C-alpha cells in the first residue's frame, strides 16, 4: 500500500512537471517579445556577415558589446575586452583575401530572459585556397542601444583545400 502511494505520488509529480514544462515552452515559443528579440539578433548577425564580406572588421565589431568584459574564446584561448577582440580579428584576418566570404547558417536562438539570449550556429568561409568552417555559441544581451554579443565561443573544423569539398 505504501509502495503504491509512493508510485502514485511520483507519477503525479512527473505529470505535473511535464505539464509545467510544456506550458513554459509554449509561452516561450509564442511570445511576441521573444520573436522581436530574435529578429533583432538575427539582424545583428546578418549585419556582421555583410560587414565581414566587405572586409570591414570595425563594423563587424559593432555587434559586440564595447566593454572590457566582452569575451572571445577560440583556439588562441580566452580573450577579454572589446579592443582585444578587435585586435585579434585584425591580426588573424589582415586583408580581404584572408577574410574570404563569410556565411552564418543553422542559427538557433534561445531566449534566456527578456534581455539575454543564447545563440548556436555554424560559420563557413570561402577563400581561394581553403574553406574553413566551424561552430559558435554566443551570449547576447540587450542594452539601451540594442542587442550586443557579450560572449563568443568559436571553434573551427579542419580546413579543406579549395576544390576538395
Q: What is the pLDDT of residue 32?
A: 86
> What pLDDT is attached to residue 31?
82
Q: Which pLDDT score, from 0 to 100, does residue 14 have?
A: 39
Domain ranges in the chain?
Answer: 1-30, 32-156
Alpha-carbon distance 146 to 156, whole Å? 28
Q: What is the pLDDT of residue 7?
A: 40
Q: Work out whether strand 77-80 and strand 101-113 pair parallel, antiparallel, or are unpaired.
A: unpaired
pLDDT at 21: 42
Q: Name the nearest CA neighbour of 55 among 104, 106, 105, 89.
A: 89
Which CATH number is 32-156's, of 2.40.110.10, 3.40.50.720, 3.40.30.10, 3.10.450.50?
3.10.450.50
Q: Each residue's pLDDT tens digit in the chain (165 positions)?
A: 444 444 444 433 433 444 444 444 444 455 888 999 999 999 999 999 999 999 999 999 999 999 999 999 999 899 999 999 999 999 999 999 999 999 999 999 999 999 999 999 999 999 999 999 999 999 999 999 999 999 999 999 876 555 544
Q: What is the pLDDT of residue 103?
A: 98
Amino acid at each position: 500500500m505504501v509502495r503504491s502511494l509512493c508510485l502514485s505520488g511520483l507519477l503525479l509529480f512527473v505529470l505535473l512537471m511535464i505539464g509545467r514544462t510544456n506550458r513554459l515552452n509554449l509561452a516561450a515559443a509564442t511570445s511576441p517579445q521573444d520573436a522581436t528579440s530574435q529578429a533583432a539578433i538575427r539582424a545583428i548577425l546578418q549585419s556582421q556577415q555583410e560587414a565581414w564580406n566587405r572586409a570591414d572588421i570595425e563594423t563587424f565589431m559593432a555587434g559586440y558589446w564595447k566593454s572590457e568584459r566582452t569575451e572571445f574564446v577560440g583556439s588562441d584561448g580566452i580573450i577579454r575586452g572589446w579592443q582585444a577582440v578587435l585586435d585579434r580579428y585584425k591580426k588573424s584576418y589582415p586583408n580581404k583575401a584572408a577574410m574570404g566570404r563569410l556565411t552564418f547558417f543553422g542559427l538557433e536562438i534561445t531566449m534566456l530572459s527578456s534581455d539575454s539570449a543564447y545563440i548556436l550556429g555554424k560559420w563557413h568561409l570561402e577563400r581561394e585556397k581553403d574553406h574553413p568552417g566551424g561552430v559558435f555559441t554566443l551570449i547576447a544581451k540587450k542594452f539601451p542601444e540594442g542587442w550586443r554579443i557579450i560572449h563568443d565561443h568559436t571553434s573551427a573544423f579542419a580546413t579543406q583545400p579549395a576544390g576538395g569539398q
